[in-house]
C-alpha cells in the first residue's frame, strides 16, 4: 500500500529564515510526486510534479527535489505570504488511479 | 476563467437528512474526484469518475453517493447513513483518468464545502 509521511507537522519560521519540508514515501512504482499549497478554508493549489529521482523544480522561493525515498520542499528566505499548509501526494503504479496524500505541514512565517 | 466551482461554501445537515454538494468544472477534464479532509488527516478519496456515466468507490465511500450524468458535473450526496459527516469536502478534476504516458496527472481543486451537523 502506498504511504506518504510529512515532517514536521508544523513549522514556525522568521521571515528570511530558510528551511526544508520533508515528504517520505513508499510506493510500488512512482508515476509522480506532487506538492500542493493550501490556504485556510480553500482548496489545494498545485505547485510541482516530480517524476524521477534527481529531478528538481523551482518556483519563486520554493524548490522541490526528489530521491527514491523522499522529497524535500526547500523554502528560501520565506515571507509571511508563504504561510500555508503544504501537502505532498504520490501516484503509484499499483493499479489504482488515485493519489495518496500526506497529512500536510503547516508553515507559519512571522514578520 | 476555467476552473472548478463548488457550492455551497457552507452547509448544515440535520439528523436523518440527505444533503447534496455541487461540483461543476469547465476545464473539459475527463476525470473528477471527491475528497474528504478532516483536521490532522490527509485527504481521503470518497469517489472518483474517469468518464461520464461511470464512477468508482474510493477509500471511504460508505454513506455517500455520486452521479456523473454530464462531463461537467459530479455531485456528491451525503446520506443519513454517514454518521460523522462533519468535514471539509473537496472536488477535483484531472485531464484524463488514465494517463496515456503513464505519468501521474495533477489535480485541480475547487474551493471546498464545509459540512457541519446541526
Percentage above 70 pLDDT, chain A: 96
| Cβ contact, residue pair A87, B114, below 8 Å | no
Residue with cell 509522480: A32
Averaged pLDDT of chain A: 94
Q: How far is the alpha carbon of A109 from chain B, nearest alpha carbon, in Å?
A: 20
Of the candidate ranges A24-33, A89-98, B21-30, the one whose mean pLDDT is the lowest: A89-98
Rounded distance between C-alpha atoms, residue B63 and residue B78, angstroms: 6
| Cβ contact, residue pair A98, B48, below 8 Å | yes
- Strand B64-66 and strand B87-94: pairing? unpaired
Task: Give A-chain residues touching B42 at CB under 8 angstroms.
Answer: 4, 87, 100-104
pLDDT of residue B96: 76
| Cβ contact, residue pair B43, A49, below 8 Å | no
Task: Give B-chain residues touching A33 at CB under 8 angstroms.
Answer: 104
Asked if B33 contacts B92 with a C-beta cutoff of 8 angstroms, the reply is yes
Instruction: Measure the CA dihedral A64/A20/A106/B84, to 10°.
Output: 60
- Strand B87-94 and strand B113-117: pairing? antiparallel
pLDDT of residue B101: 46
Asked if A40 contacts A104 with a C-beta cutoff of 8 angstroms, the reply is no
pLDDT of residue B106: 85
**How confident is residue A110, by pLDDT bands cut at 50, 70 and 90?**
very high
Amino acid at each position: 500500500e502506498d504511504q506518504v509521511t510529512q515532517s514536521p507537522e508544523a513549522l514556525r519560521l522568521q521571515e528570511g529564515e530558510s528551511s526544508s519540508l520533508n515528504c517520505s514515501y513508499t510506493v510500488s512504482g512512482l508515476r509522480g510526486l506532487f506538492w500542493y499549497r493550501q490556504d485556510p478554508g480553500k482548496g489545494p493549489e498545485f505547485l510541482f510534479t516530480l517524476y524521477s529521482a534527481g529531478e528538481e523544480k523551482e518556483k519563486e522561493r520554493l524548490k522541490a527535489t526528489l530521491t527514491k525515498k523522499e522529497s524535500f520542499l526547500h523554502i528560501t528566505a520565506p515571507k509571511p505570504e508563504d504561510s500555508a499548509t503544504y501537502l505532498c501526494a504520490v501516484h503509484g503504479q499499483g493499479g489504482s488511479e488515485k493519489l495518496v496524500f500526506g497529512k500536510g505541514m503547516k508553515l507559519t512565517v512571522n514578520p | 476563467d476555467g476552473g472548478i466551482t463548488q457550492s455551497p461554501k457552507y452547509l448544515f445537515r440535520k439528523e436523518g437528512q440527505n444533503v447534496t454538494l455541487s461540483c461543476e468544472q469547465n476545464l473539459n477534464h475527463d476525470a473528477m474526484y471527491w475528497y474528504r479532509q478532516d483536521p490532522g488527516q490527509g485527504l481521503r478519496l470518497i469517489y472518483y469518475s474517469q468518464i461520464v456515466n461511470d464512477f468508482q468507490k474510493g477509500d471511504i465511500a460508505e454513506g455517500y453517493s455520486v452521479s456523473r450524468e454530464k462531463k461537467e458535473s459530479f455531485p456528491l450526496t451525503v446520506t443519513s447513513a454517514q454518521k460523522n459527516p462533519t468535514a471539509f469536502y473537496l472536488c477535483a478534476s484531472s485531464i484524463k483518468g488514465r494517463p496515456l504516458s503513464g505519468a501521474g496527472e495533477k489535480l485541480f481543486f475547487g474551493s471546498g464545502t464545509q459540512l457541519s451537523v446541526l
